[in-house]
Amino acid sequence: MNDRLQNSMTAVSSPFKLSIRGLYKAYGDAVALERVTMDVLTGEFVTLLGPSGSGKSTLLQLICGLVPPSGGRLFIDGADRTQASAAERDIGVVFQNYALFPHLTVGENVAFPLRIRGLERSVILRRMEAALGMVGLTGYTERMPSELSGGQQQRVALARCLVYQPSLILMDESFSALDRNRRLVLQDEVRRIHRETGTTFIFVTHDQEEAMTMSDRICLMNRGRVEQFDTPRALYDTPRTVFAADFIGTSTILQGVVRPGGRLATPVGDLPLPDGSSVSAGTKGALVLRPEHLRLHTDDETGLRGVVEDVTFGGAEQRVRFRLGNDQKIVVQVPATLALSAGQAATVRWNAGDGHFIPDQEA
């Protein structure tokens, strides 16, 4: 009780729901998570995004206290909770495998966290029904988990987590077993719950589209490290590493060296750099070009010459894989109305300012 009181008092002084300082995890010689330092604002929706094995689940398990860290510290509402057990942290967790109790009804499943907290029956009933209402499952109390679809089971798991009103909810790949439509519906639902309750969410996915649409900020992870922690827009527009540029969205990445005068010497020619990237001559780095910034021209010779390799129809637009000299591929987005065929010669151009330059990091 004292602890809880102290926590709620310190909450006033910290804008951060969660602060992590040099937290890391090794299993024997293998480092699952390198030292991570990050802050999550109270009420924020943060997504951990990254390829398989990048340490997302490990970080989540350290946050909820299921796994002890090998080092570093963790603060919740400004209070050091590194040594606190999972139960003491009072964090809600929804995993990928719904993990409902199969022998309990939906209502009993959702009420379970309140029963073990010893709440009064009428309170339990009211909150259980409110939580089921929040996930769109009013009237499902008597069903057994086996009588529900995967998406519905996932909602029950979410309701069971919402019912005790944790101020921090962690979700690990919770939607990945669902088909696309159910996923989209649940994404909307979780965003609405986030808005309405003000709960802080840390959400894990390896689906970048899901991360982009859901999050206030995305923590992009790679090989147990935080690659970049930024808003979806900043990650897309100004990736700080080639990994980030490559992982988020489609991009063409052209490596080169900056020449005196400020152009980038690449295997496909000297290319202009965006304004403001006043990089000194001799700097090595990568120019990142997004498909929507590129234009294909079939009627004049200005720009980089190449050949249309293939065209993928995407509804409102089409994506063209275009082959430049030196066999360099470049992906261009063009209107669906533009008639193009494989083998056709064309040129590609862009405004220099739309490119994004990433200088090589010092090793």
Give the footprint of ligand ATP on this chain (CB under 6 A). 27, 30, 32, 50, 52-58, 206
Contact 340, 311 (CB under 8 A): yes
Q: In the window 57-96, what residues touch Mg ion (CB under 5 A)?
A: 57
Longest dimension (CA), the chain: 78
Task: Give CA separation, 113 vs 91, 119, 285, in Å.
Answer: 12, 9, 53
Task: Give CA separation, 264 vs 198, 233, 237, 284, 347, in Å.
Answer: 47, 25, 19, 9, 19
SS3 state of residue 213: helix
Nearer to ligand ATP, 66 or 185 (CB): 66
Question: d(Cα 277, Cα 287) in Å, to the nearest integer?
Answer: 11
Instruction: Kindly state the tokens that stand for 1.
Output: 């009780």
Q: Which does 54 bind (CB under 5 to 8 A by kind): Mg ion, ligand ATP, none?
A: ligand ATP
Smallest separation, CB 9 to ligand ATP (Å)? 34
Smallest separation, CB 142 to Mg ion (Å)? 34
SS3 state of residue 53: coil
Smallest separation, CB 285 to ligand ATP (Å)? 28
Nearer to ligand ATP, 52 or 337 (CB): 52
Smallest separation, CB 59 to ligand ATP (Å)? 7
Nearer to ligand ATP, 183 or 356 (CB): 183
Q: Is 25 exposed, middle or buried (0-12, 13-18, 19+ CB in 10 A)?
A: buried
Smallest separation, CB 54 to ligand ATP (Å)? 4
Q: In the window 12-41, what residues touch Mg ion (CB under 5 A)?
A: none
For 231-300, give the secondary structure using H, E and C: CHHHHHHCCCCHHHHHHCCCCEEEEEEECCCCCEEECCEEECCCCCCCCCCCCEEEEEECHHHCEEECCC
Smallest separation, CB 96 to Mg ion (Å)? 8
Nearer to ligand ATP, 54 or 187 (CB): 54
Nearer to ligand ATP, 52 or 278 (CB): 52
Nearer to Mg ion, 67 or 268 (CB): 67
Q: Which does 52 bind (CB under 5 to 8 A by kind): ligand ATP, Mg ion, none?
A: ligand ATP
Site residues (vs Mg ion, CB under 5 A): 57
